[in-house]
Structure 1
Amino acid sequence: MAERRIVVIGTGYVGLTTGACLASLGHQVMCVDIDVEKIDRLRAGRIPMLEPGLADLVRDGQVSGRLEFTVDGDAAVAGTEFLFLCLPTPKGADGGADLRATESTVARIRDTLPVGCVVVNKSTVPVGTSVRIAGLLDRPDVAVVSNPEFLREGSAVTDFLKPDRIVVGADVPEAGARVAGLYSRLRAPVLVTDAASAELVKYVANCFLAMKLSFVNAVAEMCEHFDADVDEVLDAVGRDPRIGRSYLRPGPGWGGSCLPKDSDAMLRMADTVGFSFPLLRATIESNAQQLERVVTKLATAFGGSLDGARVGLLGLTFKAGTNDLRGSPALAVAELLAARGAELLACDPTVAGGTEVDGITVMDDPYQVAENAEALVLLTDWPQFRALDWVRMAKFLDGTVVLDTRNHLDPEKLGSAGLVCHGIGRSLKPRSWTGAPPAG
């Protein structure tokens, strides 16, 4: 594979991972950002996000000379063959994706792009964005291609270098083929389609996952009504190859930087063509209800009121393995708890003690969070919390209630410490046997 000159604009989660991974594939990559301090930190090898393997890739790329960082976008763009747009597309006022960062960047570099350059949109953008970018460029000699990312926080490097598929959407076949060629070293199916279909793929994937999670949380509530065990139910359901085991775990609600905004953006796109998309609307409404249900579940354990209750929170990030607080269901639950008058302390392995997050006092030590607390709520399934000395935790607590919103803790272990572990859709009955039927 020939080495290509690539510029990546934006050094956030997607941009930095994309740049470092493309450099590891043998390309010459320049990552551009307007934040001078951020570029200085990246040049010094300081990575802002918790992502296994990313720091090593950045270091290796810099040592080899294949990965560089700059704030001088004009100079970088002038000599590139491929320009990757990895810019934020947050939720806008109308619920759709806010494309201002993308549009302003395109307008700024329009006249600098060399003849024959391919602009690659890596960000999650509404259908029709490739056409819109081409119109803003007004450069018939520059092609625009959609190449959506499918990176999960906590496994982004693996997802990039060992993908289950690579999607390239281009209305100019030759440009699509050139972008597909950048990934020739990866063993993965490359799906080349039109730009509109490629743009829709990421939204469909995220909305389907959101729907699956909302369905699982609804099943968990059904299990509680019928005294069934959601863990047992989903274990059996997940063995069906048509369904699979992924995204079959109940929780406090889904969140993060992608699923909420992409679900809202998908609804906005549907609205523009007069489609109500009732299933997706129900998915979003069900998630909001799940957050409320978690709070109500804790209030019930208190006899109906949380006013003045001291509650310790275990976990603040939207999932374990990342330091990302964006769209975290843990923070959404905390906000609802505070609205009911609860006093909150929290601990998260990635958040420094002594700080405040959304008005929540953060401690370094989970045992400090337990001290004098009337209840604990596990919101992020960090392995450190499962490994806690729960006998010691019980000695610090003023109450016995532990609400495990991730079904992450061992109820028997907590029970032996004198605590009552309330799960989501979890029965207090012993788990059934698995494997071969018992003799006789």
Structure 2
Amino acid sequence: MSVLPAQLLPDNASVTADGRLQIAGVDILELAREFGTPLFVHDEDHIRARCRQAREAFPDGVAYASKAFLCRAIAELAHEEGMHIDVASGGEMHLALQAGVPADRLVLHGNNKSTAELRYALEQRVHRVVVDSFDELDRIEALVAEGLPAPRVLLRITPGVKANTHEFIQTGQDDSKFGFGVRVGHADRAIERAAASPAIELVGLHAHVGSQVFEVGSFEKVAEVLAGIFARFQAKTGPNARMEELCIGGGLGVAYVEGEADCGIVEWGQAVRRACAAAGISAKITAEPGRSIIASSAITLYTVGTIKDIPGVRTYVSVDGGMSDNPRPVLYGSGYETFLPRATDADRPKTIRLVGKHCESGDLLVREGLVPADIRVGDIISTPVTGAYGYSLGSNYNKVPRPAVVFVKDGQARQVIRRETWDDLLRLDC
């Protein structure tokens, strides 16, 4: 027997006497009836609390990594809470600007920024451009030669630190498409070139070791590697280049299933800043958390459509979503819990495989889920901790419309992204 761990639910979740789940005073089953399923439900005050923790953890500057999940409402919220916003494409930059976020609160990332994206960033005068390659330096210098303003730049350094996470979300090892490698000498060459270029205002370095990292030691190793670089170059920089900032990136892991535990944003920030101080880095320390801001703020609701019990093999429970709204299990083998919001704190003795409606045998959401024994067709079933990299990685595979997204706060619900319709799927057809 296993009851859903309460810590996997959003901060303002509660369970009524008859076992029904509420978030921020809003009945979850009523939301499913009003907005349909699949449905992402976010606890707005949970997100705001994590933003405030991030600002406490990194008082010198912190950005929300919007790739985790971005819409107008999220951009507005993060800005209201005093965070910068890390954007990884021209599209994310455009959305944030259209949401009213000032350009000087945006940090532009990307390992292959186009000339058009860089032009847009320089024209808007974004807060930072995180430069990822020598080709990007070429493009920036060409744009500045046309008369555009020189950007304030962080150079993304690949420190040669292999974080203990899935291969697809490791980014700090030597063999990476990201950044300037330390061991091959690219980092030193990039710093020397950027520091000497009149087209670039070099303000510091950036390093990111990966996503869903639980071991703070990975971040401490980054500080140790970069300390030597700071020591070599701080004395050499001039009026157009100063090593005043180290951005440690994001990647802090969050708990998704029973038995996992995360260290918390504030504790992470304290550990990182201690490690940097111990390594002799006197620059201001900034960060870019995304998953740890948004992941556990949300649950996803599905409707059970088919239950197929194969004796001696397993029970398949098919729902009205799948890999189109949460591809993480297919991409990374990610684990989730399952529960019924009508019986939130009930024992879950029955093992199921939660699968989607797509024409792929690999379309699974939860490989080994637990649910009450009386699960039935028509039930609302939920997976918690789905606020990050679900909607943002989603697709229209099989021409399945994307779900709606709802924020709940103080007993009220507001739709921040409407559900796509079948007609929406024809918008781009010529």
TM over 0.5: no
| Higher RCO (CA-CA < 8 Å; seq separation 6+) | 2
Q: Which has the higher helix share?
A: 1
Q: Give the TM-score, by structure 1 length.
A: 0.31
